[in-house]
Structure 1
Amino acid sequence: MNMATSVHADTGLTGRTWQADMIAPDVDAGRGTQQCFVTASFVVPEGGARPALFISALGLYRAFINGRRVGQDLLTPGWTCYDNRIAYQCYDLSDLVVEGDNRIEIWLGDGWYRSQVMWEHQKILNCWGDRIAAIAEVVDGDAVLLKTDDRWKSGLLPVTASGIYYGEDYDARLEHAAETGAVEVLPFDTEKLVAHETFPVRALESNAPVEKWQDSEGRFIYDFGQNAGGYVRFTVSGERGASVYIDHAEVLGPHKAFDNRNYRSARAATHYILKGEGEETYAPVFSFTGFRYARIAVDGKAEIVAVEQVPISSIADVKGGFECGEPAVNRLVLNTVWSQRANFIEVPTDCPQRDERLGWTGDAQVFAGTACWLGDCQTFLQKYLRDVMHDQRENGAVPHFSPDPTRLHRDIFPGDWAGSTGWGDAIVMIPWQLYLHYGDRSVLEACFPAMQRWLDYLWSISDGPIIHPHSVWGETGFTFGDWLQPVGDNRKPRPTIADDCAATLYHFISTQLTARIAGILGEDEVEKGLSARCEEIRAAFVHEYFSPAGRLAHNDQTSYALAFLYDLVPEEHFDAAKAYFRRVIEDAGYLIGTGFIGTPALLPALTKLGMNDLAEKVFLNREVPGWLYQVEQGATTIWERWDAIGPDGTIYDPDMNSYNHYAYGAVCQWLFEDVAGVHPSADGPGFSQVRLDPAILPALGQVKMWHDTRAGRLSANWRISGGRVIYTVMLPEGIRAVLPVGGRKKLEINGKPCLTEQEEIALNSGRHEIGFDLSGG
């Protein structure tokens, strides 16, 4: 029967039995040319039919029934490792069909499937295939009213060119084009088709321009006040054949000069030719980009009537918030939300604007905790992990990004773009965060074999606990280390972590965590073996990197932060190493000295050690490098580089400079868990239990956080009054908490002195007010 479901062999995802064929338009001239449609007619019988459309494509599709759009999803069927699986969607057509004759038209675009991926000097074209095609069925119960087969017709669209990096060209004069061609049935395994795995990409509330001006060439530049991933929707009126050209930018140069050099080879533009029939409204169908500014050039007799920015995202709803008495911090959190939205479009990408937009594993693993605080990311990150596991190499190396185009095109990317520590560890770190936030044991089970293969790969790099990475990209054992770690004044640079130390730290981190996961899964022998390996790495690390005086070899912020956060500092060196850590921070003038892997660990390590004074000064620093420096430079998203814009407005090297990169937004995890003091607990995953332990930073004035868990809204806030901290939490039904006593002076809970000698106090669901002296908190 047509409606029968199946289970995808590799992933356990829902599939279905298809009668339809995958059909390609024979008018298609290939990648980068005029896009196509396929079409057919079908009959809906009388008597209250409720037909549904099951549909997918090679490339991107948008479907229409009787000229009306089907659904509101964008960029369908989405982006996966297309050689492994492709999503299909299902839509109710009840409000679109009529009894009797109906017409379906499926528009097809190049999308990720065959438009350019990767950067210009190593670009890949036709990555997963060179034919765009559609598969669809209209069903009513068990009756198949229509299916794609060789009887369908095809034609050319008014979309004359499109691509993920390219943008889109549209000639409205070509609308309502005739069916000029036939279709070809392509060989295709329908077992690859799985029901869409996560939330669809949707348009968010649009942003109107906050400012508009004209440049020296007569083009209008619009500032939408917010950097976002999406597109411009505009209305224009004018003569037939007049045109509108829109390009985009994230930042402005001196004198408000439009500057999108950092897009590199991504044209990221829209070109629209008018049909000349009153007001015409248009937005791209098959593309998007990252931008705050749009520059619009009109050629011919035409006038822009309206223009707006339309952000898009797979994660539309915000599930958590943090506010304090420092407005710049509040803007930083909002910037992180916007960077997550712009980069969580089908996969967690590094950036939404330039010729890259890849699912970098390193960025994703450091940000996963923050992502789950700010949005419901369970299915989104599970989908991503399936691609990561499919891209994992036979030797256990995890890809630098996923879906990974380089795996299929070794002629363009010799060597192997996989296996970097800090990046490949995503296969361990992301499932753990999903377990903590959603209590999802199944993701641990699904990823556990891949975790073990990754750990075996790490050990194999140098045949032992200390990893000596290869210095050449693509060679086995290459690592990005602490990517973009700042060095300060280049005349007298500050120390940075060496690749071998960074790699060995992550070797320990992932081995320790996988051992813990093995215990949760009841894999006792594996847990025992990994725990022994973990201790071997620990001993080797101490021998290799600690001096007899307790100083770490590279004496840099990242080394100390990761070593302290993950308990790699031996007891005999603890006090000395802590003193060295403090001095390293103070000697840097409280400026950040960490890159991609060190930054998420820096402030948590300081608060863990009780050095809240240092954490406060580093976090609230307004100089470069610093989180609030970005804010005060006008950032509305998180930057890739600490020094992306100089104090004088100078734009740093545009060849690698994104202004919408969420990695450093990982600091928000520290705001929720340490500053607001709400820690997810492995003792009660999925927020059935939390640990309450706020780090009080007086300069923040007051703190408020909230998070929508599956049990309801959890909130916590603290304020300082008369030398006392008043900490108020609201635990929804089904959530309990533990509160470490931790030497807090004059501790009171709900107005009653706490005299217990216990190390921690249990709190049930409900509202609780906790008070303690600031000096002891």
Structure 2
Amino acid sequence: MLIGKDHEDAKIHRILLPDAPRKVIYKGRVAYIYDFHTNFGGLASFSLPRVKKGEKIFFRYAETLYPKKYPESQYDYGDKEGFLYTENLRGAVCIDTYISNGKAIEFTPSLTFHGFRYVEISFESLSEEDSSRIIAKTTVKGLQISSLDEECITIKTSDEKVNKLFHNIMVTTFANHVSIPTDCPQRDERLGWTGDLQIFASTANYLSNVTPFYYSFERTLCDNAKSKANSSFGIYAPEYTYDDWGKVKYDPTAKGWPISWPLAGVAAPYYSYRQSGNKSILRSYYKTMARFMNGYRNIVIPGYKVLTKTAKEYEGLGYGDWVSMVPTDIEYVLNAQYVYGLRMMQEIATALGKRKDAKLYQELHDTLIREFNEVFIDGNNIPQDLSAKKLETQTAYSLALDYDIVSGSRKEAFVKAYKDLIEKDNYTMTSGFLGTPSLLPALTKNNEAETAMKLFLSHGFPSWLYEVDQGAVSMWERWDCYSRVKGFQERSMNSESHYAFGAVEGWFIKDIAGIRNDTKSGFQEFNLTPTFVLGLTDIEVNYKSEYGLIQSVLHTDKEGNPLSYHCIVPPNTKATLLLPKALLSGNNEDKGRERLILESGTYHFGK
């Protein structure tokens, strides 16, 4: 059966112009490198004058170049400096070849796309003089393509490095939403990895209208699930019958496949519903989501009701806190993810009026939290694994706090220990894919906004702004894809276009600018909860909701005290604003917040 897509075809989103080409000669070969200054997904379009008939022209693509050596560098790439670095493409050749018919050339590849910042042109047999003459009359354009339409969020702050970070996140998001949500657009896979989607779905819904795109991809995920005994959505879709890289063959009927990656099959519809208020995506795929979640009730640890044990043979695949700097036990991480998944399913069932299911998921959620506390937290309020080994990691603390697994005095102990750990780590991150989205929300929801902002603004290694300092023009797969000290990371998994760690933008939009919809799905009624905190003096966030522009503008003095707040509430909507009392009284000693109901309009408070 052929089923049409629910989203737009991939199309040109933006046209980019490169710098003038730079001529390079390597081992006698003359080539010309164009730099677009952004690492995007798409194509390059070429216009060349007449080239002799039969001449082969090669167009080669790369994300980056071999870097020069700095005083602090421990690497030395020798005479490769300044040439295309393609080792991280693995088996992908990424070369388009054009054979001239002797006429002027207009060439845009039509059966592929690439992920690249640089494109190189070379000729099979032309002399340096002839090739330079042709290049002088050649024009090159970059065609950024995506299945997403418009950018729905713009952020401007007083820190240009932060602005660059958010730009990088947007570019990488669009690069990885071409027909399916890939993890990277450049190397020899371009698979619809579910882990990246799962942790980024909340943020993606602010960056663009991804609901049609997710609706279509959810159908693909459900096709995966229907073919498996345990109804797992799988680790990528569309799916191969075995893992091309793996030492472990992927058995579709296996029980215990880690919940973390396949949870995308719940998270993508859930966050689309939360953002739009449209329940159709939930109705269409609810049965498959329910079968998937219910499957984990078959792998309960003996003696417990809900707590699950992941099949040990899959631990080597690492689908816990992927690419973390400090590992966290996979059982701890995945059971925390299970708590998260049950909460989403309870809300989904409630939204669809399935009271019996909602009650079941709530009971499973509450029972799992009790069992989690019993097994994974010791008597001194320290996280531990199943063998009682301590897990004092940023991921262990942040997941428990963000998912409300701990409460009361235990929660207070976790907040203090987490804050102390971040200080001990010199305000750098040690988390991976699953821990990072919770790092900052775990702090801001527990009155530690200053700690969160200090961590966010860190330039130490590893951190978000460290990447920017190293020259990143997109989001990286690893915290250390490249550094001026050590050079490139291990080449087999070193993409410079991975959107997962960009989930931090969702935290900034919701917890700092305060644009959120905690009480109702959609944005007909929403909340404005701006957080004024030391670190950024000026913040402006504009969100194009389905009802129109929502704006949140914060001005803070150098001590972090609020100076003014400006907001826009679009037509036919209503916002609940929690405003610092100091902006109403003019007295910075006046703590607390005032609750204001705002109808459609423009508002200004303070100076």
The TM-score, its normalising length taken from structure 1, stands at 0.69
Percent identity reads 29
Tell me, in whole angstroms, the C-alpha distance in 2 between the residues paired with 1:563 and 1:228: 35
What amino acid maps onto 1:638 in structure 2? M
- Give 5+ residue unaligned stretches, structure 1: 1-191, 488-495, 773-777
Higher strand share: 1
Tell me, in whole angstroms, the C-alpha distance in 2 between the residues paired with 1:695 and 1:660: 30
Partner of 1:283: 108
Structure 2 counterparts to residues 703-722 of structure 1, below 5 A: 703-720=539-556
Which residue of 225, 231, 241 maps to 1:406?
241
Q: 1:427 to 1:479 in 2, by over 3 A?
A: farther
Partner of 1:267: 93
Tell me, in whole angstroms, the C-alpha distance in 2 between the residues paired with 1:350 and 1:633: 22
What amino acid maps onto 1:690 in structure 2? F
Tell me, in whole angstroms, the C-alpha distance in 1 between the residues paired with 2:587 and 2:445: 28
Tell me, in whole angstroms, the C-alpha distance in 1 between the residues paired with 2:238 and 2:497: 20
Does 2:520 match 1:684? yes
Instruction: Give CA deviations for 1:328-375 in whole Å, capped at 9, x if unaligned.
Output: 110111101110111100011000000111111110111112211111
Structure 1 window deviating more from structure 2 (705-714 vs 342-351): it is 705-714
What amino acid maps onto 1:213 in structure 2? R
Tell me, in whole angstroms, the C-alpha distance in 2 between the residues paired with 1:228 and 1:631: 16
Q: For residue 209 of structure 1, give the secondary structure of its aligned residue in structure 2.
A: coil
Q: For residue 370 of structure 1, give the secondary structure of its aligned residue in structure 2.
A: helix
Q: For residue 467 of structure 1, give the secondary structure of its aligned residue in structure 2.
A: coil
Does 2:299 match 1:484? no
Partner of 1:61: none
Which residue of 211, 223, 230 maps to 1:390?
223
Does 2:244 match 1:423? no
- Please state how far the C-alpha of 1:626 moved relative to its aligned partner: 0.8
Partner of 1:738: 576
Tell me, in whole angstroms, the C-alpha distance in 1 between the residues paired with 2:150 and 2:411: 43
Does 2:5 match 1:196? yes
Instruction: Give CA deviations for 1:678-718 in whole Å, capped at 9, x if unaligned.
Output: 1123x332211111112223321110011111111111111
Partner of 2:53: 240
Contact 2:537 2:557 in 1 (8 A): no
Instruction: Compute the RMSD of aligned alpha carbons.
Output: 2.6
Q: For residue 552 of structure 1, give the secondary structure of its aligned residue in structure 2.
A: coil
Tell me, in whole angstroms, the C-alpha distance in 1 between the residues paired with 2:353 and 2:217: 25
Instruction: Give CA deviations for 1:263-299 in whole Å, capped at 9, x if unaligned.
Output: 111111100010002x211011101110111121112
What amino acid maps onto 1:471 in structure 2? K
Tell me, in whole angstroms, the C-alpha distance in 2 between the residues paired with 1:615 and 1:412: 39
Tell me, in whole angstroms, the C-alpha distance in 2 between the residues paired with 1:228 and 1:352: 8
Structure 2 counterparts to residues 49-128 of structure 1, below 5 A: none
Partner of 1:364: 197
Which residue of 426, 446, 451 maps to 1:614?
451
Q: 1:590 to 1:325 in 2, by over 3 A?
A: same
- Please state how far the C-alpha of 1:770 moved relative to its aligned partner: 3.8
Partner of 1:541: 372
Contact 1:201 1:313 in 2 (8 A): yes
Partner of 2:313: 472
Structure 2 counterparts to residues 299-314 of structure 1, below 5 A: 299-301=124-126, 303-304=134-135, 305-314=138-147
What amino acid maps onto 1:513 in structure 2? M
Contact 1:406 1:413 in 2 (8 A): no
Tell me, in whole angstroms, the C-alpha distance in 2 between the residues paired with 1:407 and 1:440: 36
What amino acid maps onto 2:201 in structure 1? A
Q: For residue 198 of structure 1, give the secondary structure of its aligned residue in structure 2.
A: coil
- Please state how far the C-alpha of 1:409 moved relative to its aligned partner: 10
Partner of 1:648: 485
- Please state how far the C-alpha of 1:232 moved relative to its aligned partner: 1.8
Q: 1:652 to 1:752 in 2, by over 3 A?
A: closer
| Higher relative contact order, structure no. (Cα contacts within 8 Å, ≥ 6 residues apart) | 2
Structure 1 window deviating more from structure 2 (513-522 vs 338-347): it is 513-522
Does 2:433 match 1:596? yes
Tell me, in whole angstroms, the C-alpha distance in 2 between the residues paired with 1:195 and 1:513: 28
What amino acid maps onto 1:394 in structure 2? A
Instruction: Give CA deviations for 1:93-138 in whole Å, capped at 9, x if unaligned.
Output: xxxxxxxxxxxxxxxxxxxxxxxxxxxxxxxxxxxxxxxxxxxxxx
- Please state how far the C-alpha of 1:576 moved relative to its aligned partner: 1.4
Contact 2:5 2:216 in 1 (8 A): no
Q: For residue 21 of structure 2, give the secondary structure of its aligned residue in structure 1.
A: strand
Q: For residue 310 of structure 2, give the secondary structure of its aligned residue in structure 1.
A: coil
Which residue of 537, 544, 562 maps to 1:724?
562
Q: Which runs of 4+ in 1 moved over 4 A?
A: 407-413
Partner of 1:231: 43
Tell me, in whole angstroms, the C-alpha distance in 2 between the residues paired with 1:649 and 1:738: 49
- Please state how far the C-alpha of 1:629 moved relative to its aligned partner: 0.9
Partner of 2:152: 319
Q: For residue 609 of structure 1, give the secondary structure of its aligned residue in structure 2.
A: coil
Does 2:370 match 1:561? no
Q: For residue 549 of structure 1, give the secondary structure of its aligned residue in structure 2.
A: coil
Tell me, in whole angstroms, the C-alpha distance in 1 between the residues paired with 2:156 and 2:598: 24
Larger Rg: 1
The TM-score, its normalising length taken from structure 2, stands at 0.88
Contact 1:238 1:274 in 2 (8 A): yes
Contact 2:42 2:142 in 1 (8 A): yes
Partner of 2:163: 330
Does 2:138 match 1:297? no
Higher helix share: 2
What amino acid maps onto 2:488 in structure 1? I
Q: For residue 299 of structure 2, give the secondary structure of its aligned residue in structure 1.
A: helix
Partner of 2:388: none
Q: For residue 120 of structure 2, give the secondary structure of its aligned residue in structure 1.
A: strand
- Please state how far the C-alpha of 1:401 moved relative to its aligned partner: 0.8
What amino acid maps onto 2:108 in structure 1? A
Partner of 2:351: 520
- Please state how far the C-alpha of 1:434 moved relative to its aligned partner: 0.5
Partner of 1:629: 466
Contact 2:242 2:250 in 1 (8 A): no
Structure 1 window deviating more from structure 2 (526-535 vs 443-452): it is 443-452
Partner of 1:105: none
Tell me, in whole angstroms, the C-alpha distance in 2 between the residues paired with 1:435 and 1:651: 40
Contact 2:564 2:583 in 1 (8 A): no
Tell me, in whole angstroms, the C-alpha distance in 1 between the residues paired with 2:460 and 2:65: 21
Q: For residue 117 of structure 2, give the secondary structure of its aligned residue in structure 1.
A: strand
Q: For residue 406 of structure 2, give the secondary structure of its aligned residue in structure 1.
A: coil
Tell me, in whole angstroms, the C-alpha distance in 2 between the residues paired with 1:379 and 1:584: 41
- Please state how far the C-alpha of 1:558 moved relative to its aligned partner: 1.0
Does 2:498 match 1:661? yes
What amino acid maps onto 1:624 in structure 2? F
Contact 1:676 1:695 in 2 (8 A): yes
- Please state how far the C-alpha of 1:524 moved relative to its aligned partner: 0.9
Does 2:592 match 1:767? no
Q: For residue 244 of structure 1, give the secondary structure of its aligned residue in structure 2.
A: strand
Q: For residue 220 of structure 1, give the secondary structure of its aligned residue in structure 2.
A: strand
Contact 2:241 2:250 in 1 (8 A): no
Q: 1:410 to 1:457 in 2, by over 3 A?
A: farther
What amino acid maps onto 1:294 in structure 2? V
Q: For residue 204 of structure 1, give the secondary structure of its aligned residue in structure 2.
A: strand
Contact 2:581 2:594 in 1 (8 A): no
Contact 2:194 2:262 in 1 (8 A): yes
Contact 2:35 2:118 in 1 (8 A): yes
- Give 5+ residue unaligned stretches, structure 2: 68-80, 385-390
Partner of 1:500: 331
Instruction: Give CA deviations for 1:150-199 in whole Å, capped at 9, x if unaligned.
Output: xxxxxxxxxxxxxxxxxxxxxxxxxxxxxxxxxxxxxxxxxx23333211
Instruction: Give CA deviations for 1:635-656 in whole Å, capped at 9, x if unaligned.
Output: 1110000010022361111111
